Structure 1
Amino acid sequence: MKLIQRTLFSLAFSVTLFSQIGLVQAQSFSKLKPLQISQKFKPRVDNKPNPVTDGGATRGRSCLKKPESLIPLTPANIVGTTVSERPTFFLYVPDSTATTLEFNIFATGETENLYEGKLPMPKESGIISFTLPENAPPLKINQTYQWSISMICNNEDFSANPRISSWIERIEADSSLLKNLESSNSRNLAAIYGEAGIWNEGLNAIAKQRCIEPNNLLVRMKWRQFLESAGLNEMISKKLINSCSVNNR
């Protein structure tokens, strides 16, 4: 009888112990889950609305092979944000007969380009990235810039060349962001930047993850969430063309 009682007590203790361990593990996972899985971009309270210009609209269609457009990968209706003095820009390039891309950026209120350069045309449609090179002047903190990309199809009639433009503002990284970045690893960078409302570095971080783990379902889900939260649903399935192999610096 005593043997049966001891056995029952031992079983009860084991069940209680494993239940407590399971509860602790569940609580720990629930704390990690938002950072590991949630990958949304949350605009800052002080994000500026896009100035009244042609925005992301594409002009000219003379060399496009399909009814598609150049599309800047920037959050809808607000100015993109960066903490880098030479950030990375992303855009979707459709199939065309253009031979080159032309990049321009200038500060708000200025007429002279801060930097201009030519980029090679990708051999297929997809998302490309471009990082301001070291010889480009650095972006100034709290300054808004307009950047544009043109597909050079016609050297005589530039109005026939497809072109898009968008906006970016360099802001200063606050102490909270810097602290989070110091204690993070590459897998969590996009979540940290997204939570802080830093668009360009957040997109660049999740794009790098896709390059490293192209078949990882969790990474693909994070990519989807990040783009959806910025209104870029149509870009989710597009291929990354040069981001995994080209460094513009």
Structure 2
Amino acid sequence: MKSNSQPIKLFLVVAFSCTNLLVSLTPVLAKPNVGSSTSDAYGGLSLRSEAKTSHTKSTTFNQPAIPSGPPPGGRVRGGAKRSIPGCQITKHDLTALVSFTQEANSVINVWGKTTLEHPSWFFYVPYTKDFPYAVEFVLQDQDSNEIYKKLIVLPEKAGVISVSLPTTSPGLALNKQYRWFFTISCDQEKNSPPTYVEGVIQRVELNPAVVKELETTELLKRYTIYAQNGIWYDALSTLAQLRQKNPKDAKLQAEWQNLLGSIHLDDIAAEPIFWEQP
């Protein structure tokens, strides 16, 4: 350009994005069970597993294939948006914090593994302690025999609660499938079906080398080991324990957000957690 020309104010910005994306579970675009709508199953929310991203590398959960035999089926969300009489419509539906897959025929399979005889489950409940209807957790064996049942006392605020299988109850047998239900009955006359979530849990055994590593490492590393080995319930419970001990830890909050967001439950990830009372 000529020297007597006015300077041209031109800024060429070459942006190379080097943001570390959170490593998430294999995304599953799940659909509701027969008879419910997509907005029912997801509370009318768009699916956005990468909507909230941490700048630290997150742990990858390796979703295992469902076991052979009849598919477990199940339900992740169950809410009053289906016009169940008596149930108040809430911002978020009753939600099970559990992994699930969708098969080619659109059937949802809600199931996960644990290594524990007496594991814990986590649920988001949109109601509080003043809720006038029964809230119940039930665990059944493969023959539909009830092995544990508990009436749930809700906290003062809506949020995520934990339910543990007590040591006074028979423990889970290895390689057996158990079906759980978390039910809210909003009709005292029981003329209408309850709102509920359900799924299957199976206790498995890890190889001795992994067990030894788990026994000699700290909680955050245990969470990583469980996640990498596809042990959903133990991974979630371990991460929840870490958050309970370190409620203001931003890294743990990001891990929790990533884990739930990767299975399209990121709307629940910011909700408070209330721990089960002995």
State the match for 2:67 in structure 1: 48
Q: Does 1:143 align with 2:171?
A: no
- Is 1:72 the counterpart of 2:96 in the alignment? yes
Give, as a single letter, the amino acid of the residue that structure 1 aligns with 2:90: K
| 1:47-95 Cα distance to aligned partner (Å, 9 max, x none) | 4389364523426362224253211111122521100011000011013
Write 1 or 2 for the structure with the bigger share of helix.
1
For residues 40 and 217 of structure 1, the distance between their equivalents in structure 2, rounded to whole angstroms, comes to: 18
Percent identity among equivalent residues?
A: 24
**Deviation >6 Å, runs of 4+:** none
Measure how far apart 1:160 and its partner are: 4.4
Number of residue pairs matched by the alignment: 208
1:89 corresponds to: 121
Q: Return the match for 1:127 from 141, 160, 164.
A: 160
Residue 211 of structure 2 corresponds to which residue in structure 1? 178
The match for 1:29 is none
- CA RMSD across the alignment: 2.4
Quick one: structure 1 residues 231 and 174, their matched pair in 2 at CA, closer, same or farther if it must change by over 3 Å? farther
Identify if the C-alpha distance between structure 1 residues 158 and 72 changes in structure 2 by more than 3 Å, giving closer, same or farther: farther
Aligned counterparts of 2:85 and 2:245: Cα–Cα separation in 1: 35
Q: Answer with 1 or 2: which has the greater Rg.
A: 1
Where in structure 2 are the equivalents of 1:173-212 lying within 5 Å?
A: 173-212=206-245
Structure 1 pair 202–53 and aligned structure 2 pair: CA distance change class (3 A): closer
Corresponding position of 1:154: 187
Please tell me the residue identity of whatever aligns with 1:80. G
Contact preservation (8 Å) 2:118, 2:166: yes
**8 Å contact kept, 1:100–1:120:** no
Equivalence for 1:226:
259
Residues 90-129 of structure 1: matches in 2 within 5 Å? 90-95=122-127, 97-108=131-142, 110-129=143-162
Question: How far apart, CA to CA, are the structure 2 residues paired with 1:190 and 1:158?
Answer: 43
| Higher relative contact order (CA closer than 8 Å, sequence separation 6+) | 1
Question: How has the CA–CA distance of structure 1 residues 208 and 61 changed in structure 2, closer, same or farther, with 3 Å as cutoff?
Answer: farther
1:167 to 172, 180, 200: 200
TM superposition score normalised by structure 2: 0.67
5+ residue gaps, structure 1: 1-35
Structure 1 length normalisation: TM-score? 0.74
Structure 2 unpaired stretches of 5+ = 1-55, 102-108
Shift of 1:157: 0.9
Change (3 A) 1:215 1:67: closer
Residue of structure 2 equivalent to 1:24: none
Matched residue of 1:80: which SS?
A: strand
Which residues in structure 2 correspond to 1:52-63 (within 5 Å)? 53-58=73-78, 60=84, 62-63=86-87
